[in-house]
Amino acid sequence: MTWLKIPVISYSAETDQFLLFLQFCFRRVVQIHYNIENFKSRNPVVTVGIFDGVHRGHKYIINRLIEIAEVKGGESVVITLWPHPRHVLNHDPSLTRLITTLDEKIQILSEFDISHLVILDFTHEFSRLLSHEFIKNILVDKIGIKHLVVGYNHRFGNDREGDILRLQNHASKHHFTVEQLLSYGNGQQIISSSLIRDALLNGDIRTANESLGHRFFISGKVIGGSRIGRSIGFPTANIRSEHPLKLLPKDGVYAAKVLIRDTWHFGMLNIGIRPTINDNPEHKTIEVHIIDFDKDIYNQQVRIDLEERIRDEMKFATVDMLRDQLLKDKKVALEVFKRLDTGKGNT
């Protein structure tokens, strides 16, 4: 008999990182569908939602979805709607800013061990579907649903007329099962996208990040700027957000981490009108100073994760006074990174 010799690996931080790497390597690659005409799945276990932000409440549902799919020997299917229904149905789409753009939402959802991500095109025509039409035409005929997982306040169909009782009646008729989960909160209040939007608009990054279960981030392309920052020793990358309705937190300076070409860097982010050097108060900018970094990243895509708010945006009498304050901000930002001790990756 030939024996296979297995090396003994003692536990260490490096071992932990190696195991995480193996888990990543063998993780299921999610199939993304923009069209469901020929959708195929084995015993689909489904959830449906907007999932703006993909916060901890959403993650609670998705993790339960994955668990049920494993027990039932099926495949997990997350169905999300795009554009955001309020952007289609409301006269003023800007009233509902996005915590996550579509690409950002896909990025977060793809980190879960789900089998399928379906993106349904939300149109005025789609919005007129009654609950029984959505169930029959989409979930039953197109997806082939076997089990549905929904949140505590899930409603669907035209004017949100489909509630859990109606859903259970249709489930019995079309031979699939339904599970409704309890609300998910932080001990004081139920976590919701509205709660997170309010926290961001108030500059409360800690509450937003805690409710999200990951750091709030902004994705965009580096564009040309005035280069004034470089002249005072603080070069910045000016960022154009990838969606005009992306929610931006309250104006101010933030400790942030910047992802460039798969590498994380420490940085200081400014959101606002730059009152010391800007004559146009209507022109809001997103610019980040990447600490100890001096490479040309013009026209590249970057991701900026907000860690903690440092201060409000301020107007200084001179550029020299601005530079002195930036030196103080840099010190505070480095102290934030050291205190949180999260390294350069996402939480």
What confidence score (pLDDT) does residue 16 get?
45
User: Nearest 5°: CA angle at 248, between 216 and 270?
Assistant: 90
| Mean pLDDT computed over 97-104 | 98
DSSP at 344:
T
Residue 7 scores a pLDDT above 60: no
What homologous superfamily does CATH list for 43-214?
HUPs (3.40.50.620)
Residue 157 scores a pLDDT above 80: no
What homologous superfamily does CATH list for 216-340?
Riboflavin kinase-like (2.40.30.30)
pLDDT band at 112 (very low <50, low <70, confident <90, very high): very high
Does the bond joining 83 to the residue before it have cis omega, within 30 degrees of 0?
yes
Nearest CA-CA partner of 240 in 300, 290, 183 = 300
CA atoms of 175 and 285, how far apart (whole Å): 53
Domain boundaries, the chain: 43-214, 216-340
CB 124 within 8 A of CB 88: yes
CA atoms of 126 and 81, how far apart (whole Å): 10
CB 328 within 8 A of CB 285: no
Q: Say if 43-214 and 216-340 have the same CATH topology.
A: no
Q: What is the pLDDT of residues 308-334, one digit of tens each?
A: 999 999 999 999 999 999 999 999 999
Q: Given the structure tokens 């993790």, which residue do they identify?
A: 63
What pTM, to 2 d.p., does this model score?
A: 0.88
Tell me the residue type at 184: Y
